[in-house]
Amino acid sequence: MPDSTTAPATTGHPPSPPAPEEAGRRRPAIPLARLRDFALVPAIIVIAIVGQIVNPIFLQSDNLINILQTMSEISLLVLAQTLVLVAGRMDLSLESTFGLAPGVAAWLTVAAGTGPGLGLLPGAWGIPVTLAVGVLIGAVNALFIVRFGLNGFIVTLGMLIVLRGLLTGISGGQTFFNLPESMTYFGSAMWLGVPASIWICLLLFAAGIVVMGFTRFGRSLYAIGGNVDAAKAAGIRTDRVLWIVLISASLLAAIGGLLLTGRLASVAAAQGDGAIFTVFAAAVIGGVSLNGGKGTVFGAFTGILLLYMIQNVLTLAGVPAQWIQALNGAIILTALVISRLTGGKSQD
């Protein structure tokens, strides 16, 4: 090439900038794209007011901590699913990972004789085993989806069934009790008067917001989910990014499972069963697109928060437990309709 065309400029000013200075840059106070993240905030405020009217307990700190703690474990699944959805994929198997990861750890560490445990490893191994199982499941998912190019929906649906079956198999359908102390610590400890699981949940969400919004890795997820060819053209190593995101998602699910295990001091064979529906609902209500490339971690957080606040209000209002499930479904549908109305665009 001629020299004249390769020399980079230091300031980027062309010889004769035709546009006057003030016309070049326009800075709207708040870009519209940012507002979308806060679409659910008004709804959350409305629910808080309604809750307070229904029962004055609602806004007391004990109740608020209760809400945050009950949602802390499943919210990590929402975080995990958000990462995967933004990258244009789905991971249904998260709910089974949520149960199996701590389940395997309990199986290996719980002393033999008191239940289905084998007692092969000392109690301190509980957490490392849980996390390792999470990573392993994520790697298997990635192997099928990224390496072999299988359909992600069906692969993870198959994994959901297989993993649930494995947990039922190793536990004999029973519940693991007498867990080592290391496994129950994070789910039951209090840090500064607030359950540790809430801190962990908030920290991971904060980390998620930073990663997705402020790192090249996070932005490459949006690029891949939005237009994978354009992402490749921009030099993003799409396969590697997908491996990382699928493994991270399973790891987050394992951490969520660990927190629930700690809170309940047990691992039931059905831990996490059916949670994936709530997870998807929360993500979509929070503005994450099922087609990829769209949505934020903060939005997903408001989605799951809204769902759990509504449930809490219903409980405080004295709705019979038998009706909660039907209402839950109705709430999800209503929340979808509301976010469709406030979002203005169809949820694809």
Partner 1 sequence: MEEFAGGPASPPPAREGGPVRADPPVAEAENITKRYGETTALDGARITIRPGEAHALVGRNGAGKSTLVSILTGLQAPDEGEVRFAGSPAPRLSDRDAWRERVACVYQKSTIIPELTVAENLYLNRHDRNRLGLVGWKSLWRKAADLLEAWSVDVDVRRPAGELGVEQRQFVEIARALSFGARFIILDEPTAQLDGAAISRLFDRMRAMREQGVTFLFISHHLQEIYEICDTVTVFRDARHILTAPVADLPQGELVAAMTGEAAGLREHAVRPAVPEQAPVVLDVRGLSDGDVYQDVDLRVRAGEIVGLAGLGGSGKTELAEAIAGLRAPRDGTLEVAGSRPRPGSVPESLAAGVGFVPRDRHDQGLVPLMSIADNTTLTVPERLGQAGFVSGRRKDALAREMITNLAIKTPGPELPVSGLSGGNQQKVVMARALASDPRLLVLITPTAGVDVRSKEFLLGKVEEIAENGTGVVIASDELDDLRLCNRVLVMFHGRVVAELAAGWHDHEMVAAMEGVDLDA
Q: Which of 113, 149, 193, 235 binds partner 1 (CB under 8 A)?
A: 235
Q: How far apart are CA 261 and CA 102, in angstroms?
A: 7
Total residues at interface with partner 1 (CB under 8 A): 47
**d(Cα 119, Cα 192) in Å, to the nearest integer?**
34
Is 185 within 8 Å of 105 (Cβ atoms)? no
Q: Does 348 bind partner 1 (CB under 8 A)?
A: no
DSSP-assigned beta bridge partners for residue 176: 267
Q: Which of 60, 114, 215, 342 binds partner 1 (CB under 8 A)?
A: 215
Place of tokens 């799409």: 238
240 touching partner 1, by CB under 8 A: no
> Taking CB under 8 A as the rule, which mask of x and - marks residues 27-56 in contact with partner 1?
xx--x-x-----------------------
Q: Phi first, then psi: what are they for 118, rounded to 5°?
A: -100, -25
Type of residue at 76: L
Q: Which two tokens stand for residue 124?
A: 């301190």
Q: Which is nearer to partner 1, 257 or 303 (CB)?
A: 303
Segment interacting with partner 1, rule: CB under 8 A, options 110-118, 166-174, 220-228, 311-319: 220-228
Left (φ > 0), alpha (ψ -120 to 50) or beta: where does 180 sit?
beta
Give the residue with the Cβ less far from partner 1, 147 or 237: 237
Residue 302's alpha-carbon distances to 116, 178, 179, 186, in angstroms, are 39, 35, 33, 24
> In terms of C-beta density within 10 A (0-12 exposed, 13-18 middle, 19 or more buried), how is residue 230 classed?
exposed
Is residue 23 near partner 1 by the rule CB under 8 A? Answer: yes
Please tell me whether residue 210 binds partner 1 under the rule CB under 8 A.
Answer: yes
**Is residue 8 a contact point for partner 1 (CB under 8 A)?**
yes
Q: Which is nearer to partner 1, 34 or 330 (CB)?
A: 34
Q: Which stretch binds partner 1 (CB under 8 A): 121-129, 149-157, 223-231, 254-262?
A: 223-231
Given candidates 96, 97, 220, 278, which one binds partner 1 under the rule CB under 8 A?
220
SS3 assignment, position 284: helix
Nearer to partner 1, 18 or 318 (CB): 18
C-alpha–C-alpha distance, residues 197 and 74, integer Å: 11
User: What is the distance between the alpha carbons of residues 133 and 57, in angstroms, rounded to a whole number?
Assistant: 40
Closest contact distance (angstroms) between CB of 296 and partner 1 is 11
Q: Is 345 in the site for partner 1 (CB under 8 A)?
A: no
Choices 2-10, 93-101, 139-147, 200-208; region in contact with partner 1 by CB under 8 A: 2-10
Q: Indicate the Cα dihedral angle 60, 61, 65, 67, nearest 10°.
A: 20
DSSP 267: B
Report if residue 234 touches partner 1, rule: CB under 8 A.
yes
Task: Return the residue of 101, 198, 231, 284 that touches partner 1, per CB under 8 A.
Answer: 231
We find the least distance from the C-beta atom of residue 30 to partner 1, in angstroms, to be 10
Of 98, 134, 83, the C-alpha closest to 241 is 83
Q: Under a CB-based contact definition with an 8 Å cutoff, are residues 151 and 83 in contact?
A: no
Q: Which of 25, 29, 62, 320 binds partner 1 (CB under 8 A)?
A: 25
- For 69, residues 6+ apart whose C-beta sits below 8 A from its C-beta are 195, 197, 198, 263
Contact status: 12 vs partner 1 (CB under 8 A): yes
Of the two residues 214 and 323, which places its CB atom closer to partner 1 in the complex?
214
Q: What backbone torsions phi and psi does residue 194 show, to the nearest 5 degrees?
A: -125, 140
The binding track of 292-311 with respect to partner 1, each residue x by CB under 8 A or -, is -xx-----------------
Residue placing its CB nearer to partner 1 in the complex, 25 or 344: 25
Binding site for partner 1 (CB under 8 A): 1-2, 4-19, 23-28, 31, 33, 210, 213-216, 219-220, 222-223, 225-227, 229-231, 233-236, 293-294
